[in-house]
Structure 1
Amino acid sequence: MREPPVKKILYWCGECNVPLIGKTCGCGAEGHPIPLLQPYDIRPALEHDRQILARLVRERYGTDSLPSVILLNKTGGIDRKDLVIANGGRFGWLSFDPGHRRYEFELVFDALPSMLPLITKNMLRLDQLKGAGEDVRNGKRIGGKKYPASGNITDGGVVVTWDGYAGVGVSTKGIVKVKEVGKVSPANVSDPGWEEVISRNRYHLKNLERNAIRFIRQQADHAQCVNISFSGGKDSTAVKELARRAGFEDTYFVDTGMEFPETLEFVRSLSIKTILHGKDFWREVNRHGPPRKDDRWCCEHLKLAPVKKWLAGKGECITIQGNRWYESFARAGLPPAVKNPYHPAQTNISPIRNWRALEVFLYIWWRQIPCNPLYEKGLERVGCWMCPAMLESEFEYVRSAHPDLYREWMAFLKEWFGKRGGASRSLETGAWRWKTLPPKMRGNDE
């Protein structure tokens, strides 16, 4: 399948110290490129993300001073793994270890110009790494090498400094692996907020809106039946506003019976008239077993079936949806308009298919549209509270905010796997989410 023209680069204005959704800033300056990692989606670090980062940076490096504008580029991993971007470059790695149920953070070399003056913990002198000083004096590289460290150094990220040079590394049981080194000059950078980001990207936001509205009208203006599929998430929130500006407001929401309470409250606040309901989840799950990433029977029974029933008799219909290329590899080839194979009379159109999460959030903030509060609480995506597509880092929110729901689901999983000889470890690490474990999860369910 041919790869869609996704944006693999983020541009950043060095003059204003803000990310750009185009190549140029509102100040007139050209942005410099920052290569992104697959699937190339970037999103703002919101309240919960910032709290985690501040805690980890404080615990590891002795400062909780962070830039106001931080972006997260999700990448592949056992669970959550984000490349953290700030101050015009790569800032660090944020990941979640599902086995130990904890977050970890590690600074990268590009963060040192702005962070070096602030770091007070786990900063080593070169002479604290046995043999490293001799290597430097002999003109040998130390990046990529391991050295025994003197002193009481805990496991995790470290910074090494000497004579105007600095580097980052990782300490494991008293051995430091130096990852990258170079000459570092402390940099004083401005600290704009998200209001400044929106202001400097206003021209590009207007273009995004104009193009999306034009696309909706081209596809739907002559249709007899047009509606908006609303999930309660950020993407359908943006699409609902775009559709309204294009002249369409008939919106439906499918309550699967497993929605987050916060999502249901948010939907009620919008006074959406058409609320559809699928089959009873608990009856179906006892029949089919837990939904898995590789067995999503739930979507057909709880979402597609009630929509098909509702649309029956309406004839040809256009549904405006919020699917995006960057959400997953499965959606990376999403065409502008496609017939629903489950209900061929329905054509789904995707006006923001080429938007990244950054564009979605900036648009929502620019237009001051109410948004689901779950994003501020650590969820990257919003759906059913026990969806197998959730990360274990997101399921931690269910555990803490909705313990009754968490206990109910874990009790079901324990009983289901217990009857079938499944490993209880798979419940703790999230391996239950697959029927056939992918390579990255093998060994985590034992």
Structure 2
Amino acid sequence: MQQLNLMIGQTKEEIALDFIREHEPEEGYFLGFSGGKDSVVLYSLTVKSGVKFKAYYSLMPDPPELIKFIRKYYPNVIIIKPERNIYQQVETRFPPHRKSRWCCDYIKEKPSTKVPLTYRLLGIRAEESNNRKKQGWINKRTKKRINLHPIFDWLEWEIWDYIDQNKLPYCSLYDEGFSRLGCVICPLRSTKEREHYKVKFPAQHRLFEKACLRWWDKKGFHRHRTRGDVYFFNEFMANWYIGK
């Protein structure tokens, strides 16, 4: 449908606006807002469409600049929190890693399930990854959760072009060379990104490492010597930062 609309002369903005209006539920939309460039565009389009919606931001170990940006320019966004913060959860579970990324489900997904809105607008784009490309324009997760992706076919340059044309504010971290924002301790980041984030956001990483050490001690591991196949805590953290 979207390709056909492009063939008959509709712009991607017009297609997105029609898509949002076409699927508007009576109770209104849940708009997932992260504060990133895609969320900024999605929020603007949703306002333009005139539909009923509420925007929600899941609080996580995000850059302080991002949180300040959201509070300054998007004061109407509702902040939702998990029952326990990520550092408390690390201590009782284990540090998240590539093969067991429980953190996103706990911090982002679980708290949002308490919001009784079925139709959810998300700023997912096919260009970002193969996994996101597979989700399509509409992803029916469950009967009580249907995700819609109005900017699914937008390219990154089109996102920035829309931001420039509409004079939308965006987080200053993009101007510092950050291509993607979000959780500063995300285990899926590349080694280079992790090193960059650790230098840029030392406070969050200190809290994370302290939580990891408390978990390590509770498991009965010795922080200064090996026990069987268990290595030193410092070695464990060094391996975590390079994705092992």
- Hey, what's the Cα distance between the residues in 2 that align with 1:404 and 1:243? 35
In the other structure, the counterpart of 1:261 is 64
In the other structure, the counterpart of 1:333 is 134
In the other structure, the counterpart of 1:231 is 34
In the other structure, the counterpart of 2:121 is 320
Aligned ranges 1:95-174 → 2 under 5 Å: none
Aligned ranges 1:155-234 → 2 under 5 Å: 207-220=11-24, 222-234=25-37
Identity of aligned residues (%): 25
* Cα pair distance change 1:417/1:391, threshold 3 Å: farther
- Hey, what's the Cα distance between the residues in 2 that align with 1:370 and 1:426? 40
SS in 2 for 1:266: helix
In the other structure, the counterpart of 2:159 is 360
Q: Does 1:302 align with 2:89?
A: no
SS in 1 for 2:113: helix
Q: Cα RMSD (Å) of the superposition?
A: 2.9
In the other structure, the counterpart of 2:54 is 250
Judge conservation of contact 2:127–2:155 (CA < 8 Å) in 1: yes
- Hey, what's the Cα distance between the residues in 1 that align with 2:189 and 2:149? 23
SS in 2 for 1:250: strand
Judge conservation of contact 2:82–2:107 (CA < 8 Å) in 1: yes
Judge conservation of contact 1:417–1:424 (CA < 8 Å) in 2: no
- Hey, what's the Cα distance between the residues in 2 that align with 1:366 and 1:294? 41
In the other structure, the counterpart of 2:83 is 279
Larger Cα Rg: Structure 1 or Structure 2?
1
* Cα pair distance change 1:399/1:430, threshold 3 Å: same
In the other structure, the counterpart of 1:15 is none
Give the CA deviation at 1:409. Answer: 2.7
* Cα pair distance change 1:379/1:430, threshold 3 Å: farther
Give the CA deviation at 1:340. Answer: 2.6
- Hey, what's the Cα distance between the residues in 1 that align with 2:234 and 2:131? 30
* Cα pair distance change 1:369/1:207, threshold 3 Å: same
Normalising by structure 1, we get a TM-score of: 0.46
The alignment covers a number of residue pairs equal to 225
- Hey, what's the Cα distance between the residues in 2 that align with 1:235 and 1:364? 9
Give the CA deviation at 1:417. Answer: 6.5
Judge conservation of contact 1:377–1:397 (CA < 8 Å) in 2: no
Give the CA deviation at 1:278. Answer: 0.9
Q: Does 1:421 align with 2:236?
A: no
Q: AA paired with 1:421? A: Y
Q: Give the alignment partner of residue 94 of structure 2, picking from 275, 289, 300.
A: 289
Q: Is 363-372 or 406-415 further displaced after alignment?
A: 406-415
Judge conservation of contact 2:90–2:215 (CA < 8 Å) in 1: no
Judge conservation of contact 2:121–2:148 (CA < 8 Å) in 1: yes
Q: Does 1:379 align with 2:154?
A: no
Q: Does 1:395 align with 2:194?
A: yes
* Structure showing the higher helix proportion among its residues: 2
- Hey, what's the Cα distance between the residues in 2 that align with 1:429 and 1:379? 24
* Structure showing the higher strand proportion among its residues: 1
Unaligned 5+ segments in structure 2 are 222-229
* Cα pair distance change 1:318/1:400, threshold 3 Å: same
- Hey, what's the Cα distance between the residues in 2 that align with 1:211 and 1:367? 17
- Hey, what's the Cα distance between the residues in 1 that align with 2:215 and 2:171? 32
Give the CA deviation at 1:386. Answer: 0.6
Judge conservation of contact 1:291–1:433 (CA < 8 Å) in 2: no
After superposition, what is the alpha-carbon deviation per residue over 1:119-158, rounded to whole angstroms, capped at 9, x for unaligned?
xxxxxxxxxxxxxxxxxxxxxxxxxxxxxxxxxxxxxxxx
- Hey, what's the Cα distance between the residues in 1 that align with 2:163 and 2:15? 16
Give the CA deviation at 1:298. Answer: 1.1
Unaligned 5+ segments in structure 1 are 6-21, 23-203, 435-446
After superposition, what is the alpha-carbon deviation per residue over 1:282-319, rounded to whole angstroms, capped at 9, x for unaligned?
221122211122212112211111111122xx5xx211
Normalising by structure 2, we get a TM-score of: 0.80
Q: Does 1:347 align with 2:146?
A: yes
SS in 2 for 1:330: helix
* Cα pair distance change 1:259/1:370, threshold 3 Å: same
* Cα pair distance change 1:380/1:429, threshold 3 Å: farther
Give the CA deviation at 1:273. Answer: 4.1
